[in-house]
Amino acid sequence: MARVGQSSGAPSKRDQVVTAGGEGRAVFLDRDGVINRSIVRNGRPYAPLHLDEFEILPGVSQATRDLRGAGLSIIVVTNQPDVGAGRQTRDVVEAMHDKMCAEIAVDAVKVCYHIEADGCDCRKPLSGMLLSAAEEFDISLGKSFMVGDRWRDVDAGHAAGCRTYFIDQGYDESLRQTPDHFVADLPEAARHILSMTLK
């Protein structure tokens, strides 16, 4: 441990964009709490339900551009169970992702819309979205990274064989596995990833 200072449904256009020069390496990013601000109530994080609540966090745009500039593909892997539970529409989620892709460097967006009871293989902490992306984009998972802010992200990254970065947002929940690195935010994770990949 170190301290450093499948998509549900038919693939969208976002799922088919791949940056040149990826060299089989990727940074997998959770969405809420990593890219955009989560809605926190009683110590628990929730995804924004409305487009006007979707706010990209400071430094994220530059961090993703820096990672992509180093030849790393940027792939978002996100659970959005509010759709499966009927609290959210897929159209709103896709509008959020259109906004996200317009503001930051993203090569693909993988979304699990299921609820846990559906028993799918894409919902984190399972690694289905990462494995699907690896096959689709010829990614070496052992040379790739997973950045998240919840235990499900860490477990999914470990299950896929990626190096994991945990952003501690102080939520009222515990980790189940130890991440490889603890960081304050995505920009810090990006700096550390770049320090290793550019050696």
**pLDDT per residue over 124-133, tens digit each?**
999 999 999 9
* Residue extents of the structural domains in the chain: 2-197
In tens, the pLDDT along 87-96 reads 999 999 999 9
Q: Which architecture does CATH list for 2-197?
A: 3-Layer(aba) Sandwich (3.40)
Q: What pLDDT score was predicted for residue 23?
A: 57
Q: Which residues are catalytic?
A: 30, 32
Whether residue 99 contacts residue 89, with contact meaning beta carbons closer than 8 Å, is answered with no
pLDDT at 19: 35
Radius of gyration, alpha carbons of the chain: 15
DSSP label at residue 126: S
Which residue ranges in the chain fall short of pLDDT 50?
Answer: 1-22
Sign (positive or negative) of CA dihedral 102, 44, 27, 190: positive
Contact between 8 and 122 (Cβ < 8 Å):
yes
pLDDT of res. 140: 96
